[in-house]
């Protein structure tokens, strides 16, 4: 028997496009001699569909998509993920299901049992958990058909769940496992995914074909990396990251085993490729073509511009340089050099005259109050106004350039440098932004070295440096990592050796600036815990305030 994996990039709600893409993959799999082709979780409608699932018309289109695919299931079986209706009045209206299509009809449906409701997942909001676990019989083989999380409770050891679907299926003596998955990317997920598949193989001793999405859905990136694992627990094959692929495997060969070289898993390279895909799909799936962003000569806007140019093409990324009287000459030159290195169009719009006009109008109200963050924020908001005006006039989508360190502690100006339709590096700590810059420059200097080596500064007042009000980023980012990703409280972080006053100050800054993050653009998720849908904090909480 030959099994094909179709690792595809789906578009939420684009049923016609998704079905057409799958039909093309079916034709390819037939050419490769496949007996079964496997698509990923909820592939008819795209993942995650969220509240689209509450529309009856949406479910009707999903049902029609399954029917269209069933007609193509001649000479080949199709395993595909799609929502299905719950026929009984008790429980939720829908199941998250895997359909097995044969000879023009639905042979069997297996409902997902384990419904993740944590971090970015919210499946119990929509779906009823499956309770029956029956193997699929096809061409003399017995198949354990599972959906994503159903393989993540190995031996019923996951405290989130009370049943292990594979334990329920094993008495039926399946020959292999098919898992239809939608596993969002983080820089740690690829290794975790392989370990979970290996743990299943170790327990059950049969091959697994694990199929993942490859594409971006706003803030979520799906990195592909679909897996074929042999009964010896060794990787038979791992599909490429961040791209589509259709590959067919001979089951007997997979049974015999053998080690294929896994895909590289360098953290910074993965983050780079994930963000490029995230920007590309955000624009492509929304029908946008051109981006605009403010380029300061600093590291954050430089890295954002570089990633956008690689995602959209440099001719589609317009860079706006907006120097003030506080900008250093080398910052302007660094920004120009970067624009020319990438071949991006750019304009220079000084902000000093507009700033002075604002100050003239406001001075009777400000009186003798000293220069402070108000005047600094005013400069940022003037720049935001320029960028939004150009965005409106030319239809270019504004990209936000804030990094995760700044977003965490509130070092950004609402309606100023926090403007944008998409936050490109908002899940990348400052220390990793530097690493990204070096990675971008690995073959050729594209980002000026001075942008990487000079002390970070917002340049909103004379001789300003980030270090004037923040600890070194090596220290800041580690404290933030412990608090945000690892959910360690102040006591645990202080016990690691960090200064108590500093820890309490940083954590307080994180908490009191939640209101800002609620008003920012969607953040492309590359870490295990990003700002946005996977981190839900109260705005007015008193914890550590």
pLDDT by 10-residue block (mean), the chain, 545 residues:
98 98 98 98 97 97 98 97 94 97 97 95 96 97 98 90 95 98 95 95 97 97 97 94 97 90 89 98 97 95 98 98 81 93 97 95 95 92 97 97 96 93 97 98 94 76 70 96 96 96 95 93 96 89 72
Query: What pLDDT does residue 543 have?
Result: 76
Q: Which value, to the nearest 10 degrees, does the dihedral of the CA atoms of residues 247, 253, 257, 261 take?
A: -30
Q: Give the count of beta carbons closer than 10 Å to the beta carbon of residue 355.
A: 19
Query: What pLDDT does residue 411 have?
Result: 93
Q: Locate the domains of the chain by residue range.
A: 2-265, 271-466
Catalytic residue flag (residue 148): yes
Q: Supply the mean pLDDT for the chain.
A: 94
Among candidate residues 38, 45, 148, 419, the one labeled active-site is 148
List, as one string, the DSSP characters of 91-130.
Answer: S-SEEEEEEEEETTEEEEEEE------STT--GGGTBPPP
Catalytic residue flag (residue 41): yes
Q: Where are the alpha helices (DSSP H) in 287-417?
A: 299-312, 329-342, 352-366, 373-394, 404-409
Query: What pLDDT does residue 325 have?
Result: 83
Token pair 């949406």: residue: 58
Among candidate residues 21, 41, 344, 419, the one labeled active-site is 41
CATH of domain 271-466: 3.40.50.620
Same topology, domains 2-265 and 271-466? Answer is no
Integer angstrom CA distances of residue 435 from 258, 263, 507:
35, 21, 25
What digits encode the pLDDT tens for the residues 125-158? 999 999 999 999 999 999 999 999 999 999 888 8
Q: Which CATH architecture has domain 2-265?
A: 4-Layer Sandwich (3.60)
Among candidate residues 38, 45, 112, 238, the one labeled active-site is 112
Q: What is the pTM of this model?
A: 0.94
Query: What pLDDT does residue 460 have?
Result: 66
Query: What pLDDT does residue 282 have?
Result: 98
Q: What whole-number distance in Å separates Cα of residue 436 and Cα of residue 257?
A: 37
Catalytic residue flag (residue 30): no
């Amino acid at each position: 028997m030959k099994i094909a994996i179709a690792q595809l990039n789906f578009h939420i709600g684009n049923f016609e496009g998704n079905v057409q893409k799958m039909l093309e993959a079916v034709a390819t799999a037939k050419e490769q001699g496949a007996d079964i082709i496997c698509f990923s979780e909820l592939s008819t409608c795209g993942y995650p569909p969220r509240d689209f699932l509450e529309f009856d018309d949406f479910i009707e289109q999903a049902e029609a998509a399954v029917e269209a695919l069933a007609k193509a299931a001649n000479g080949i079986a199709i395993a595909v993920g799609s929502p299905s209706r719950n026929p009984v009045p008790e429980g939720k209206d829908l199941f998250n299901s895997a359909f097995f299509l044969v000879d023009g009809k639905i042979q069997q449906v297996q409902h997902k049992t384990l419904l993740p409701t944590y971090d970015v997942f919210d499946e119990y909001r929509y779906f009823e958990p499956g309770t029956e676990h029956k193997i699929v019989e096809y061409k003399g083989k017995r198949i354990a058909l599972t959906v994503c999380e159903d393989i993540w409770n190995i031996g019923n050891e996951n405290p989130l769940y009370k049943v292990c679907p594979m334990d329920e299926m094993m008495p039926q003596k399946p020959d292999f496992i098919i898992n239809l998955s939608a596993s969002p990317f983080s820089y740690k997920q690829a290794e975790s995914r392989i370990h979970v598949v290996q743990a299943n193989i170790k327990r059950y001793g049969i091959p697994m074909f694990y199929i993942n999405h490859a594409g971006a859905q706003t803030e979520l990136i799906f990195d592909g990396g679909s897996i074929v694992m042999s009964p010896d627990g060794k990787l038979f094959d791992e599909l490429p990251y961040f791209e589509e692929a259709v590959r067919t495997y001979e089951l007997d060969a997979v049974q015999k085993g053998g080690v294929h070289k896994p895909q590289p898993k360098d953290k910074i390279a993965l983050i780079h490729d994930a963000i490029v895909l995230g920007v590309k799909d955000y624009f492509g799936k929304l029908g946008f073509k051109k981006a605009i962003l403010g380029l300061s000569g600093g590291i954050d806007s430089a890295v954002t511009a570089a990633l956008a140019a690689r995602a959209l093409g440099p001719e589609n990324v317009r860079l706006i340089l907006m120097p003030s009287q506080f900008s250093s000459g080398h910052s302007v030159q660094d920004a120009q050099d970067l624009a020319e290195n990438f071949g991006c169009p750019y304009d220079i719009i000084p902000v000093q005259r507009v700033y002075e006009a604002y100050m003239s109008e406001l001075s009777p109200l400000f009186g003798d109050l000293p220069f402070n963050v108000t005047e600094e924020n005013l400069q940022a908001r003037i720049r935001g106004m320029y960028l939004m005006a150009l965005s409106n006039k030319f239809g270019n989508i504004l990209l936000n350039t804030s990094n995760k360190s700044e977003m965490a502690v509130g070092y950004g100006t609402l309606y100023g440098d926090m403007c944008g339709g998409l936050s490109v590096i908002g899940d990348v700590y400052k220390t990793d932004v530097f690493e990204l810059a070096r990675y971008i420059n690995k073959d050729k200097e594209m980002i000026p070295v001075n942008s990487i080596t000079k002390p970070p500064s917002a340049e909103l007042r004379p001789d300003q440096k980030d270090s004037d009000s923040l600890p070194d980023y090596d220290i800041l980012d580690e404290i933030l990592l412990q608090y945000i990703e690892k959910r360690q409280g102040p006591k645990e972080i202080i016990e690691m050796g960090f200064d108590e006053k500093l820890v309490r100050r940083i954590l307080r800054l994180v908490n009191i600036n939640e209101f800002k993050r609620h008003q920012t653009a969607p953040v492309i998720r590359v870490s295990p815990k990003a700002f946005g849908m996977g981190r839900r904090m109260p705005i007015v909480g008193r914890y550590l305030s």
